[in-house]
Amino acid sequence: MSAIGLQFALQTAILAIVFSASARAQDAGTTAVSQQDVQAKMQYCEVCHGPSARGFVGFYPIPRLAGQQPQYLKNQLQAFVERRRVNPIMFSVAHVLSPAMQTALTTNFIELNPKPLGGAPKELVAAGKKIFEEGIPDASVPVPACSSCHGPDAKGNNAFPRLAGQLYPYMVRELGDWSTERGQDPAKPDTSAIMQPIAHSLTEPQIKAVAAYLSYLE
């Protein structure tokens, strides 16, 4: 097994053990969780999502959770449970979290504010800023300004996610293959379904430009 494969397997095993054990200790309903348990879960999330949940760029990009909107995170955890988003690790993590633990974790994540990792091509930032602020009215499906949903500072609002500081390669991958990455079930659409026609209307250079701009925002 390669070093990358070994790291992936180790991360998966650690997360499975930790979250399976916590599931046995927690009521499936609304039992209060201790701050100690919450901090332990935060630390295990950082195994994959990096220090202060700022994201991690490795064999594949793992997204930044720091500063993310709680309602968006809860929606996505449910999407993993229902397999509307397909990721074996996140399914294992999400389906054992009680509602109380979800609330505690997402409340803690939004309070984190590490510096963005950056690393995107800076020559793309100006074009990305224009797309974010003005949209692309002449696209096959007119693309509205990203700021109209994600806010002028890209920090999101409720079910609309924060994009500021998100990893450049993660955003490029998500926008470039939206249907596959999101695993949308037409019978059970969520807020992210809004993005499908928009993502499909963006060209690869446009995706890279807006992702570069957002990756540097704090």
- pLDDT tens by residue, 9-32: 444 444 443 344 444 434 444 468
pLDDT single digits (tens) 172-218: 999 998 877 676 667 776 677 888 889 989 999 999 999 999 999 99
For residues 141-157, give the mean pLDDT.
Answer: 94
Question: Alpha-carbon distance 142 to 123, whole Å?
Answer: 25
Domains along the chain with CATH numbers: 3-111 (1.10.760.10), 122-215 (1.10.760.10)
pTM for this entry: 0.82
Nearest Cα neighbor of 77 from 30, 113, 45 is 45
Q: Contact, 175 vs 207, CB < 8 A?
A: yes
Give the DSSP letter of residue 66: T
